[in-house]
Amino acid sequence: MQLILGVIALWLVLGIAGVFFPRNLLLVSRVLFPAGALGALLLAAAALDALGGEIQSRVLPLGLPDLPFHLRLDALSAFFLLLLGAVTAGISVFAAGYFRRGEGTPPGLQCLYYHLFIASMALVLLADDAYAFMVFWETMALSSYFLVTSDHAKAEIRRAGFLYLLIAHVGAIGILLCFGLLHGSGDYTFDNMRAVQLAPVAATVAFALALFGFGAKAGMLPLHVWLPEAHPAAPSPVSALMSAVMLKTAIYGLLRVLFDLLHTQVWWWGVVILVLGLATALYGVVFSAVQSDMKRLLAYSSIENIGFILVGIGLAVIFQSYGMRALAALALTAALYHAINHAYFKSLLFLATGSVLHATRERALGKLGGLIHRMPWVAWLALVGTLAIAGLPPLNGFVSEWLMLQAFLFTPNLPHPYLNMLIPVAAAAIALATALAGYVMVKFYGVVFLGQPREPSLASAHDAGTWERAGLVWLAAGCIALGIAPVAVIGVIDSVTGQLLGKTLGASATGWMFLTPIGPERASYAPLLFLLGILAVWLLTWLAVRRFYHGRVRRAPPWDCGFPAQTARMQDTAEGFGQPIRQVFEPFFRMQRELPTPFDAAPRYRVSVEDHLWYWLYLPLARVTNALTRVVTLLQRGRISVYLMYSFVTLLVLLLFVR
Amino acid sequence: MISWPGLVAQLTEVLLAVLLAPILLGWVNQCRAWLQNKNGPGVLQPYRTLRKLFAKEAVLAHNASPLFRATPYALFACMCLAAAIVPTLGTDLPFSPAADAIALVGILALARVFISLAAMDIGTAFGSLGARREMMVGFLAEPALLMVLFTASLISHSTSLATIVAQLTQAEFVVYPSLALAGVAFTMVSLAENARIPVDNPSTHLELTMIHEAMVLEYSGRHLALIEWSAALKLFVYSCIGIALFFPFGIAQGGDALGLVLALPALAAKLGVGGFALAVIETVSAKMRIFRAPEFLGTAFLLAVLAMLIHFLLEA
Look up the ipTM and state it.
0.94
Q: In 3-state terms, what secondary structure has residue A428?
A: helix
Which residue out of B132, B154, B204, B296 would a mutagenesis test of the A interface target, given it has the greatest number of A Cβ atoms within 10 Å? Answer: B132
How far is A526 from A473, CA to CA, in rounded Å?
24
What pTM does this model have?
0.94
pLDDT over 90 at A101, yes or no: no
Average pLDDT over residues B70-78: 94
Q: Do A399 and A389 touch, CB atoms closer than 8 A? A: no
How far is A81 from A76, CA to CA, in rounded Å?
9
How far is A232 from A350, CA to CA, in rounded Å?
9
Least confident among A96-110, A378-392, A504-518, A632-646: A504-518
Which residues of A fall within a CB distance of 8 Å from B61? 555-559
Average pLDDT over residues A95-112: 82
Asked if the bond preceding A557 is cis, omega within 30° of 0, the reply is no
pLDDT over 70 at A501, yes or no: yes
Average pLDDT over residues B41-64: 91
pLDDT over 60 at A127, yes or no: yes
Which residue out of A383, A387, A553 would a mutagenesis test of the B interface target, given it has the greatest number of B Cβ atoms within 10 Å? Answer: A553
pLDDT over 80 at A153, yes or no: yes
The answer to the question of residue A446 being in a domain is: no
The pLDDT value recorded for residue B255 is 61
**Tens-place pLDDT, residues B265-286:** 889 999 999 999 999 999 999 8
How far is A362 from A458, CA to CA, in rounded Å?
9
User: If you compute the radius of gyration of chain B from its CA atoms, what whole number of angstroms results?
Assistant: 19
Q: Do B25 and B36 touch, CB atoms closer than 8 A? A: no
The pLDDT value recorded for residue A344 is 95
CA angle B15, B83, A387 (to 5 degrees): 125
Q: Does the CB of B308 have a partner CB in chain A at under 8 Å?
A: yes
The answer to the question of residue A2 being in a domain is: yes
Which residue out of B102, B153, B226 would a mutagenesis test of the A interface target, given it has the greatest number of A Cβ atoms within 10 Å? Answer: B102
Contacts 24+ apart (CB under 8 A), A636-639: none
CA end-to-end distance (rounded Å), chain B: 33
Which residues of B fall within a CB distance of 8 Å from A445? 117
The answer to the question of residue A282 being in a domain is: no
Domain that holds residue A21: 1-199+217-247
Which residues of B fall within a CB distance of 8 Å from A583? 291, 294
Name the residue in chain A with its Cα closest to that of B145.
A431
Average pLDDT over residues A88-104: 85
Asked if the bond preceding A394 is cis, omega within 30° of 0, the reply is yes
pLDDT over 90 at A401, yes or no: yes
* Cα atoms in the 13 Å half-sphere on the side-chain side of A311: 34
User: Exposure pattern of A261-291 as b/e (b: 16+ CB <10 Å)?
Assistant: bbeebbbebbbbbbbbbbbbbbbbbbbbbbb
How far is A105 from A148, CA to CA, in rounded Å?
10
The answer to the question of residue A91 being in a domain is: yes
The pLDDT value recorded for residue B104 is 93
* CB proximity list for A143: less than 8 A, separation 6 or greater: A113, A114, A116, A117, A120
The answer to the question of residue A28 being in a domain is: yes
pLDDT over 80 at A293, yes or no: yes
Name the residue in chain B with its Cα closest to that of A393.
B106
The answer to the question of residue A435 being in a domain is: no
How far is A444 from A431, CA to CA, in rounded Å?
20
Say if residue B256 is exposed, middle or buried (CB neighbours under 10 Å; 0-12, 13-18, 19+): middle
Number of domains making up chain A = 1
Average pLDDT over residues B239-260: 82
Which residues of B fall within a CB distance of 8 Å from A566? 124-125
- Rounded percentage of chain A residues whose pLDDT exceeds 70: 99
Average pLDDT over residues A159-175: 93
Q: Which residues of chain B from 197 to 256 reach within 8 Å of chain A, CB to CB?
A: 205-206, 217-218, 220, 222, 226
Query: Is residue A591 within a helix (H) or strand (E), and if so which, with residue range?
Result: strand A589-594
Of A306, A275, A366, nearest to A573 by C-alpha is: A366
**Tens-place pLDDT, residues B120-142:** 999 888 889 999 999 999 999 99
Q: In 3-state terms, what secondary structure has residue B103?
A: helix
Average pLDDT over residues B192-205: 83
Of B229, B269, B221, nearest to B47 by C-alpha is: B229
Which residues of A fall within a CB distance of 8 Å from B110? 387, 392-393
CA angle A263, A333, A287 (to 5 degrees): 100
Q: Do B76 and A541 touch, CB atoms closer than 8 A? A: yes
Of A501, A582, A8, nearest to A265 by C-alpha is: A501
pLDDT over 80 at B6, yes or no: no
**For chain B, how long is the longest CA-to-CA vector?**
59
Which among A431, A550, A552 has CB closest to B146?
A431
Q: Do A360 and A458 touch, CB atoms closer than 8 A? A: yes
CB contacts < 8 Å between A and B, how many? Answer: 266
Average pLDDT over residues A210-238: 91
**Tens-place pLDDT, residues A1-27:** 889 999 999 999 999 998 888 888 888
pLDDT over 60 at B316, yes or no: no
Name the residue in chain A with its Cα closest to that of B97.
A524
The answer to the question of residue A600 being in a domain is: no
Say if residue B8 is exposed, middle or buried (CB neighbours under 10 Å; 0-12, 13-18, 19+): middle
Which among A398, A442, A563 has CB closest to B131?
A442
Neighbours of B167 (CB within 10 A): 18
**B121 and A526: CB-CB below 8 Å?**
no
The answer to the question of residue A587 being in a domain is: no
The pLDDT value recorded for residue A14 is 92
Q: Does the CB of B113 have a partner CB in chain A at under 8 Å?
A: yes
Least confident among A375-379, A415-419, A529-533: A415-419
How far is A407 from B39, CA to CA, in rounded Å?
53
pLDDT over 80 at A219, yes or no: yes
What confidence category does residue A78 fall into, taking pLDDT thresholds of 50, 70 and 90? Answer: very high
**Tens-place pLDDT, residues A592-619:** 888 888 888 888 888 888 888 888 988 9
How far is B110 from B102, CA to CA, in rounded Å?
12
**B143 and A431: CB-CB below 8 Å?**
yes
Phi, psi of A104 (to 5 degrees): 70, -130
Strands B58-61 and A553-556: parallel
Across chain A, what does the average pLDDT equal? 89
